[in-house]
Amino acid sequence: MAERAVLAYSGGLDTSVAVKWIKEKYGYDVVTFTVDIGNVPNLEAIRQKALDAGAVDAVVADAREQFITDFVYPSLKADAIYEGEYSLATAIGRPLIAQLLVKVAREKGAVAVSHGCTGKGNDQVRLDVGIGTLGPDLKIIAPAREWGMTREELIQYAEQHSIPISITRKSPYSIDENLWGRSIETGVLEDPWVEPPSDVYVWTCDPAAAPEEPQYIEVEFEEGIPVALDGVSLGTVQLIEMLHAAAGRHGVGRVDHIENRLVGIKSREIYEAPAATVLLKAHIALQNLVLTKDQLRFKALVATHYADLIYNGLWFGGLRHNLAAYVDDTQKYVTGTVRLKLHKGTCSVVGRKSPYSLYDLSLATYDKGDAFDQSDSPGFIRLWGLPSRLQARQQRGTIGSG
Ligand code: ARG
């Protein structure tokens, strides 16, 4: 019996050709693996397609729940946003795919795993590093990085090898999507001066055409995790899908960003992340109510670092693990409700409450009931300003024109 490779299979032209190409080039029998993390594939149809393309076995899985629980929630709790713009949907999907590829390889006795990434992007890094960490003995094959075939040549290859492919009108964009967001690249978007044509957006309506009436939505969190919308407890997938629909209807969650890839390239990225935009905003707002200033400052530093680790494919590394433990510890009191207003492409926080709130009205108020003793302030300010006064006395030159 020939040795086996497990191929991450989408059902598209590239991975269908890869089934035969791997057999020809490396001699491996190919077992395909297709996973649903909210990219809504028709798993049964894809399974059949894989077998028709020559796979000896075709495994499919619905991992939406696991995706949210083990990957989306940890990054939400960390407030992981890359370069201030990208909520990392594609990037957090990759370690899960790597993990499942290794698992299927073990179950099927494979010696190699394979994916359809090219040699220019971040995704190859995330998958290769993930696979190399979890299954260091497995050989990694990335056909699209190796074969150098154009789309025409791929179609020709498929015809020559009687691989049934449905030639659909090719989308002008390269698209990746899952429950946390949709990433769109290439085509006219490669000119950073060109405004994204309207057909780029599928999940969010044009803010100009969004309802005139705003929609208010209440998101309830328990220890940093969203558990209910408008007072109704919901399951993980359902909660994200409902937010997706509401925010999408109001045109919330569009991003147009020049991004710095790990491989050194700057690329123009469009994202649609309606649910992620609302949840990240809401989470940060609730945290602001329950963590101290010092905790917030430090956590923001960790958030940037955490986002870089996810983006750069180091999910399974020790540092991400360490930081996840820190983040979890910060979430103990991140329980409460945030009220948001969705309107014409904007999502604004308009209210927040928590049983652990550190906001004390009797200290903050300028009205009756003020419990803040203003006579404490002059002494505090005298000590706070002491270093400045000392410096001014001894080093006139260091304090500018004063
Ligand atoms: N630039 C984003 C990232 O690196 C999105 C990648 C999209 N991938 C794709 N195959 N279209 O995470």
Whole-angstrom distance, CA of residue 367 vs CA of residue 298: 33
Give pLDDT, residue 171: 81
Catalytic residue among 29, 36, 79, 123, which? 123
Work out which ligand 1 atom sits closest to the CA atom of 311: 12
Q: What letter would DSSP give residue 150?
A: -
Contacts of 218 (CB under 8 A, 6+ apart): 229, 230, 231, 337, 338, 339, 340
Report yes or no: 180 and 69 within 8 Å, Cβ to Cβ.
Answer: no
Whole-angstrom distance, CA of residue 275 vs CA of residue 38: 13
- Please count the other Cβ atoms lying within 10 Å of the Cβ belonging to residue 117: 21
Judged against a pLDDT cut of 80, whether residue 59 lies above it is answered with: yes
Work out which ligand 1 atom sits closest to the CA atom of 261: 4
> What is the SS3 assignment for 262?
coil
Work out which ligand 1 atom sits closest to the CA atom of 271: 5
Whole-angstrom distance, CA of residue 333 vs CA of residue 358: 10
Residues of the chain with CATH 3.90.1260.10: 174-291+334-353
Judged against a pLDDT cut of 90, whether residue 151 lies above it is answered with: no
Q: What is the mean pLDDT of the chain?
A: 95
Judged against a pLDDT cut of 60, whether residue 110 lies above it is answered with: yes
Q: Give 267 Cα–ligand 1 centroid separation in angstroms.
A: 10
Whole-angstrom distance, CA of residue 396 vs CA of residue 399: 6
Report yes or no: 203 and 64 within 8 Å, Cβ to Cβ.
Answer: no
Q: Give 176 Cα–ligand 1 centroid separation in angstroms.
A: 7
- Please count the other Cβ atoms lying within 10 Å of the Cβ belonging to residue 341: 15
Give pLDDT, residue 250: 98
- Tell me which residue has its CA closest to atom 9 in ligand 1: 176
pTM above 0.75, yes or no: yes
Give the confidence band of 107 by pLDDT, cuts at 50, 70, 90.
very high
Half-sphere exposure of 353 (CA within 13 A, CB side): 4
Contacts of 169 (CB under 8 A, 6+ apart): none
Whole-angstrom distance, CA of residue 23 vs CA of residue 319: 38
Catalytic residue among 10, 14, 47, 254, which? 14
Q: What letter would DSSP give residue 85?
A: T
**Whether residue 166 lies in the annotated active site:** no
Work out which ligand 1 atom sits closest to the CA atom of 186: 11
> What is the SS3 assignment for 8?
strand
Give pLDDT, residue 369: 87
Give the confidence band of 398 by pLDDT, cuts at 50, 70, 90.
confident
Probe target for ligand 1 pocket from 75, 122, 182, 255, with the most ligand atoms within 8 Å of CB: 122
Hey, which CATH number is domain 4-160, 3.40.190.10, 3.40.710.10, 3.30.300.30, 3.40.50.620?
A: 3.40.50.620
Site residues for ligand 1, CB cut-off 6 Å: 90-91, 122-123, 174-176, 183, 185, 259, 269
Residues of the chain with CATH 3.40.50.620: 4-160
**Whether residue 329 lies in the annotated active site:** no
Judged against a pLDDT cut of 80, whether residue 402 lies above it is answered with: no
Q: Give 174 Cα–ligand 1 centroid separation in angstroms.
A: 9
Work out which ligand 1 atom sits closest to the CA atom of 94: 12
Whole-angstrom distance, CA of residue 293 vs CA of residue 145: 47
**Whether residue 320 lies in the annotated active site:** no
Q: Give 214 Cα–ligand 1 centroid separation in angstroms.
A: 32
Strands (E), 245-387: 254-260, 266-272, 336-343, 346-353
Give pLDDT, residue 401: 56
The candidate with the shortest Cα–Cα distance to 270, out of 207, 191, 210, is 191
Residue entry with tokens 């290859």: 157
**Whether residue 182 lies in the annotated active site:** no
Work out which ligand 1 atom sits closest to the CA atom of 122: 4
Probe target for ligand 1 pocket from 183, 262, 271, 312, with the most ligand atoms within 8 Å of CB: 183
Report yes or no: 283 and 337 within 8 Å, Cβ to Cβ.
Answer: no
Is the domain defined by 174-291+334-353 classed in CATH 3.40.50.300? no
Q: Give 167 Cα–ligand 1 centroid separation in angstroms.
A: 24
Mean predicted confidence (pLDDT) in 327-347:
98
Q: Give 184 Cα–ligand 1 centroid separation in angstroms.
A: 7
Give pLDDT, residue 40: 80
Task: Out of 132-141, 237-246, 386-395, pick the least confident.
Answer: 386-395
Give pLDDT, residue 296: 98
Of all residues in the chain, the percent with pLDDT exceeding 90 is 91
Looking at the DSSP assignment, which residues form a beta bridge with residue 86? Answer: 82
Give pLDDT, residue 168: 67
- Tell me which residue has its CA closest to atom 1 in ligand 1: 269
Catalytic residue among 106, 151, 171, 174, which? 174
Q: Give 123 Cα–ligand 1 centroid separation in angstroms.
A: 7
